[in-house]
Amino acid sequence: MKRLLLSLAILLTSVMAFAGEGMWIPMLLQYNEKEMQEMGMRITADDIYSINHSSLKDAIVLFGGGCTGEIVSDYGLLLTNHHCGFDYIQKHSSVEHDYLTDGFWAMDRSQELPCPGLSVIFLREMRDVTEKVLFNITDDMTEEDRQKTISENIKRITAEVEKQTEYKVSIKPYFLGNEYYLLLNEVYTDVRLVGCPPSNIGKFGGDTDNWVWPRHTGDFSVFRVYADPDGHPADYSASNIPYRPAKHLEISLKGADEGDFAFVFGYPARTSEYLPAVAVDQEANVIDPIAVRLRGEILDIYNTYQEQDKKVRIQYASKHAGLGNGWKKWMGVTEGINHFRGVQKKRFYEESFQEWALGARNRYMYIDLLKNFEQKYKELEPYRVAYTYLSNAGLNIEIFDFAGNFNKLSQVTKETPQEEIDKMITGLKKATENFFKDYYQPIDREVARTMLKEYLEHQPTDFRPGFLNEIKDVDAYVEQLFEKSLFADKDRVMEFLESFKPSKVKKLQKDPALLAYQSLIGFYRDEVNPKMGPINKEIDRMQRIYMKGQMAMEPEKRFSPDANFTLRVTYGKVEGFKPQDGKNFRHFTTLEGIMEKENPDIYDYVVEPKLKALYNSKDYGRYADKDGTMHVAFTASVHTTGGNSGSPILTADGQLLGLNFDRCWEGTMSDLVYDPDICRNISVDIRYVLFIIDKFAGAKNLIAEMDIVE
C-alpha cells in the first residue's frame, strides 16, 4: 500500500509540473508547444524562438544585468519596470529636478537622458554543447578533476566559436551541471531614459504593498536603445541613432480576462526548485529570518530620516528599495514554506526517491544522498549564519563599505608606478563623488550603532570579525569612528586624494573605517570562505547527482532547469487565487482601488492630482476595459522570479498584455517550492501604462511609435 501511495505521489508531482510550473529553454520550446496550444496559445514555438527568421526573442533584452525589458517600436523604444530603471532615474534626480517625485518625459529624442553604465543584451542564438563540455568526463573522476576538465573544454569551445562570430560567447550550466548551452549575445551600451511616471504612480504603495495583492502600482519606465549609424553596438555618442530591431512587440488593448492563456518571456535570475528538504528548511527558517530582522531594523532607521527631509528621501530611495525588496520577500518565503508545508512535501517526495534508489543495484550512487545532505547542511549552517551577519549587518554600514574602495591604495609603496597610482586616484575621486551624493551621516551613525550591537549580541566570539571583539562600548566606538575616520567627510577625502603620496599610506592603514572593512573581509576570506567553500562544493556535487537521479526516477516527466539569468519562457493562465480560507481574490485591480487607498499623509499613498482628475472625469480614452473601468494590474499562474521584473506577459497571439513586476506574497516560496494553487505573478496592465503615457503625461510622441492592436 505504501509503495502505491508513493507512486501516486510521484505521478501527482509530475502532473502538477504541467500546470504553469517551469522556466523553459526557448530553443527547446517545441516540446511544450502542444500543451501551450491546448491551453489556448495561437502561435507556434518557432514564432517565439527562431534563428532562421525574426521571432519574439529578438524583442526581449536582459536589462541592466538584473531585469528584463522589451522593444515596443521600430526605433528601439523599450519598456521595463519603474523599479528596474529606478537607479538611473534616481541618478538623474536632484532637489531641483526631482524625477522620482515628478516623473520625467522626453517629448522628443533630443531630451532623452544618457545612462552611463546601463546596457541591454539580446540573445541571438542558443546551442546545446553538453557533449562537448562533458567530453572526457567520467563518473570516477574527483570533483576537482571534473571541474578542471569542464573549464578547459568550455575555454576551448568558446575560443573556437569566437573566431566565427561577432557576438559575445558564453556557456552556461543547466540542470545543475548535467547539461550545458552556449549563448550568442549582442550587447548595446548606449541606452537612454525616455520617460518615467512619478513615484506616486510607478511605486504606488511602496514597501507596504510590495509583494502583496491587490496591487495598484504603475510599475513601468521607458528607455531607448541606440546604435551606431550601421546599427551596431556603440558607446554613447551624439551621432548614434535609435536601434532598429529585427522584431518589436505589438501591443494588445484586449485586456486580461479570467482563464486566458498567457506567457512570460524574460530573464529569471535564480531558483532552486530541486533542493532537498533540509536545504529548504535552513533557508526558510534559519537564514531568511536573520536577514529579515537585520534589514528591518535598518529600514526603520531609513524611514525615520526620509520622512523628515526631502533630500534624504531622494538620496536613500534606491538603497531603501534594494534592502526592502529582499526584506519583505524573505518574510513571505518563510511564511509560505511553513503555511503550505513545503518542507513536509519535500520530505514526502524524498521517501519515494529513497525507495526508488533502493530498488536496483545500479542506483548505488543515490542511496546515501539524502543522509549526506543532512550532514553537510548541518556543517554549513553556522558559516551561512556568519556570512548573513557579515553581509546584512557589517557591510550595510556605509562608511565601512566605502572605505573598502581604498584598500588597494593603502597597499602602495614607493616602488608602485606613478601611472598606476594616478589611475587609482582618478577612480577613487569618482567613487567619492558618487558616494557622498547619496550619503547622510546621521543615518549611517545610527545604522552602525544598531548593527554592531546586533552582531555582538547574536554571534559568538569565534564567528565574528576580530575588530568586534575589541569593542567595549558600541556607542563610544561609533562616536570615535565618525570623528577620526577620513571617510566620514567628503572634503577630507578629496583633500587627501589631491595631495596623496606613498608616504601618506600610513594614514589609510590606521583609519578605523578601513581597519573595520579589512577585518570584515579578512574574516570572510580567512575563516568563513575556507570552511564554506569545500562544503558547498560537496553539496554542489551531490545536488548534481540528485538532479540526475530525479530525472532518472521520472523519465516521462518534463523537467525545466532552474533559473540562471538566461532567457526563458513560462506560461499559465490569467486567474485570481484563494491564499487562505475566507480570502478569494479576483484577478485584476482598477484605478478605483488607488482612490480607496489614497492617504495624503503617507508618501506611498499620495495620489497625483492629475490622475485624480482623470479618474473623476473617467477620461480613460481607448484604454478603458470593456467594463468601463481603468484596469491597473492583474495576476496569473505563471512561474516567475527575480530577473523577470520588466518581462512582457504576452497574449495567446504573442502580443503585449502587460509588464510582469512582482509575485503575490503568499507564493514567494516559489523559488524553492512551487505550488500552482497559490503562486501568482503580478503584472501592470499595458493599458494602464499607455493611459499614463498618453492621458497623464501627454507623451503622444511615444504612443505614435507603438503598434497598438485595438
Residues designated catalytic:
83, 219, 645
Name the residue with cell 564554506: 532
Q: Between the CA atoms of 584, 586, 587 and 591, what dihedral angle is there, to the nearest 10 degrees?
A: -130
Find out whether 205 and 599 touch, Cβ atoms under 8 Å.
Answer: no
CA neighbor of 705 nearest in space, from 48, 100, 63, 223: 223
CA 462 remoteness from chain centre: 33
Pairing between β-strand 241-242 and β-strand 568-573 as defined by DSSP bridges: unpaired
Q: Is 399 in contact with 482 (CB distance < 8 Å)?
A: yes
Which residues is 598 bridged to in the sheet? none
∠ Cα 578 580 586 (to 5°):
25
Cα-Cα-Cα-Cα dihedral sign, residues 612, 616, 621, 627: positive
Q: How many H helices and E strands in the chain?
A: 29, 20
| C-alpha span between 65 and 594 (Å, rounded) | 32
d(CA 219, CA 642): 15
Cα dihedral across residues 148, 151, 157, 160: positive or negative: negative
Q: Calculate helix-pair angle for 342-357, 529-553, nearest 10 degrees.
A: 70
Residues 6+ apart with CB under 8 A from 320: 207, 299, 302, 303, 306
Secondary structure class of 196 (helix, strand, coil): strand
| String of DSSP letters for 535-552 | HHHHHHHHHHHHHHHHHH
User: How many angstroms separate the CA atoms of 126 and 122, rounded?
Assistant: 12
CA separation for the pair 253, 256 (Å, rounded): 9
- What 8-state DSSP symbol labels residue 283? I
Output the nine-digit C-alpha cell for 100.
522620482
**Parallel/antiparallel/unpaired status of strands 568-573 and 708-709:** unpaired
Question: Mind spelling out the 3-state secondary structure of 207-270?
Answer: HHHCCCCCCCCCCCEEEEEEECCCCCCCCCCCCCEECCCCCCCCEECCCCCCCCEEEEEECCCC
3-class SS of residue 45: helix
* φ/ψ (deg, to 5) at 424: -60, -45
Residue 558 DSSP symbol: P
The set of residues, in sequence order, having a beta carbon less than 8 Å from that of 40 and lying 6+ positions away, is 260, 261, 652
With a CB cutoff of 8 Å and minimum separation 6, the contacts of 651 are 252, 254, 260, 261, 262, 657
The answer to whether 143 and 537 are in contact (CB under 8 A) is yes
Is the preceding peptide bond at 214 cis, omega within 30 degrees of 0?
A: yes
- DSSP SS3 for 179: strand
Integer Cα distance of 708 and 694 in angstroms:
13
